């Protein structure tokens, strides 16, 4: 007996296949959007992670500066020359810190 030949799909089967293909295309479009969004989110997360690290470094630098300032004040005692040098150093550090904050503060 010869093999049965496949019948062409009926109109309703063809319509169902078209609907399935249309839904699949819609799903693929949504998946592509999700993948693009994921890349944007990951880029944002990387930026935030770097910002947190920079902020942590800046905070630690400020803590170190203040801790060292206390030690330097204690060491200078009442020596006017040592106190003047410490004052000059503090002024330079204050200006550098102010410049860094200004440079890294986004405009409103």
**Is 108 within the bounds of a domain?**
no
CA distance readout (Å), 56 to 29, 31, 53, 84, 98: 40, 37, 5, 31, 17
**pTM of the complete model:** 0.41
Parent domain of 58: 22-103
- Structurally, the chain folds into a number of domains equal to 1
Token pair recorded at residue 89: 């150093």
**Residue 6's pLDDT band (boundaries 50, 70, 90)?**
low
Q: How many CA atoms lie within 13 A of 39 on its CB side?
A: 5
**Is 17 within the bounds of a domain?**
no
Is 60's pLDDT higher than 70? Answer: yes
**Is 80 within the bounds of a domain?**
yes
**Is 99 within the bounds of a domain?**
yes
**Residue 42's pLDDT band (boundaries 50, 70, 90)?**
confident
Per-residue pLDDT tens digits for 70-91: 888 888 888 899 888 888 888 8
Percent of the chain with pLDDT over 70: 89
**Is 5 within the bounds of a domain?**
no
**Is 6 within the bounds of a domain?**
no
**Residue 67's pLDDT band (boundaries 50, 70, 90)?**
confident
- pLDDT reported for residue 47: 84
**Is 31 within the bounds of a domain?**
yes
**Is 88 within the bounds of a domain?**
yes
């Amino acid at each position: 007996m010869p093999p049965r030949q496949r019948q062409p799909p009926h109109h309703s089967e063809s319509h169902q296949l078209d609907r399935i293909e249309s839904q699949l295309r819609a799903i693929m479009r949504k998946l592509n959007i999700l993948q693009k969004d994921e890349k944007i989110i990951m880029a944002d997360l990387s930026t935030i992670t770097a910002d947190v690290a920079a902020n942590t470094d800046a905070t630690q630098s400020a803590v170190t500066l203040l801790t060292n300032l206390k030690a330097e004040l204690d060491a200078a005692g009442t020596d006017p020359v040592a106190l003047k040098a410490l004052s000059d150093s503090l002024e330079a550090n204050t200006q550098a810190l102010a410049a860094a904050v200004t440079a890294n503060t986004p405009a409103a």
